Amino acid sequence: MRSIESKDLLIVAGSIAAGAVASIALFRSRSPDLAGRVVLITGGSRGLGLALAREFAAEGCWIAICARDAGELAAARQDLEGRGAEVFATECDVSDRSQVEAMVDRVSARFGRVDILVNNAGEIQVGPVESMAMEDFERAMQVMFWGTVYPTMALLPHFRGRSEGPAPRIVNITSIGGKVAVPHLLPYTCAKFAAVGFSEGLRAELAGKGVKVVTIAPGLMRTGSHLNAWFKGDADREATWFSLGAATPGISMNAERAARQIVAAASRGDAEKILTTSANVLARIHGMFPGVTADVLGLVSRLVLPAGNGVDAKRGSETRALQSPWLSLLTVLGRMAARKFLQRPEQPATA
The CATH number of whichever domain residue 232 belongs to comes to 3.40.50.720
Residue 247 in contact with residue 330, Cβ under 8 Å?
yes
Q: Half-sphere exposure (CA, 13 Å, Cβ side) for 49? A: 31
Query: Of 134-138, 226-230, 236-240, 313-317, which gets the smallest average pLDDT?
Result: 313-317
Residue 121 in contact with residue 143, Cβ under 8 Å?
yes
Query: Of 64-73, 80-89, 290-299, 304-313, which gets the smallest average pLDDT?
Result: 304-313
Q: Is residue 60 part of a domain?
A: yes
Q: Which domain holds residue 199?
A: 32-340
Q: Is residue 247 part of a domain?
A: yes
**Once rounded to an integer, what is the mean pLDDT over residues 161-188?**
93
Q: Is residue 214 part of a domain?
A: yes
* Distance, CA of 114 to CA of 154 (rounded, Å): 11
Query: Could you give the percent of the chain with pLDDT greater than 90?
Result: 79
pLDDT digits (tens, 9 = 90+) for 15-34: 444 444 444 444 344 456 89
Beta-carbon contacts of 277 under 8 Å, excluding residues fewer than 6 positions away, are none
Residue-level pLDDT at 29: 43
Q: Is the pLDDT of residue 292 over 60?
A: yes
Q: Is residue 18 part of a domain?
A: no
What letter would DSSP give residue 59?
T
pLDDT digits (tens, 9 = 90+) for 253-282: 999 999 999 999 999 999 999 999 999 999
**Element of type H or E holding 221:** strand 221-222
Q: Kindly report the average pLDDT of the chain as a whole number.
A: 89
Q: Is residue 27 part of a domain?
A: no
pLDDT digits (tens, 9 = 90+) for 90-124: 999 999 999 999 999 999 999 999 999 999 999 99
pTM value? 0.88
**Element of type H or E holding 68:** none
Q: Is residue 4 part of a domain?
A: no
Q: Is residue 119 part of a domain?
A: yes
Q: Which of the pair, 346 or 88, is modelled with greater confidence?
A: 88
Residues designated as active site: 188
* Distance, CA of 105 to CA of 92 (rounded, Å): 12
Q: Is residue 85 part of a domain?
A: yes
Residue-level pLDDT at 301: 92
Rounded to 5°, the CA angle 138-144-146 comes to: 75
Q: Is the pLDDT of residue 348 over 80?
A: no
**Once rounded to an integer, what is the mean pLDDT over residues 119-137?**
95
**Once rounded to an integer, what is the mean pLDDT over residues 48-57?**
98
Query: Of 157-166, 219-228, 335-344, which gets the smallest average pLDDT?
Result: 157-166
Neighbour count for residue 320 (Cβ, 10 Å): 11
Q: Is the pLDDT of residue 53 over 80?
A: yes
Number of domains in the chain: 1
Confidence band for 312, pLDDT divided at 50, 70 and 90: confident
Residue-level pLDDT at 97: 98
* Distance, CA of 92 to CA of 40 (rounded, Å): 12
Q: Are strands 87-91 and 62-67 parallel, antiparallel or unpaired?
A: parallel
**Once rounded to an integer, what is the mean pLDDT over residues 229-236?**
93
Beta-carbon contacts of 306 under 8 Å, excluding residues fewer than 6 positions away, are 128, 233, 234, 237, 238, 241
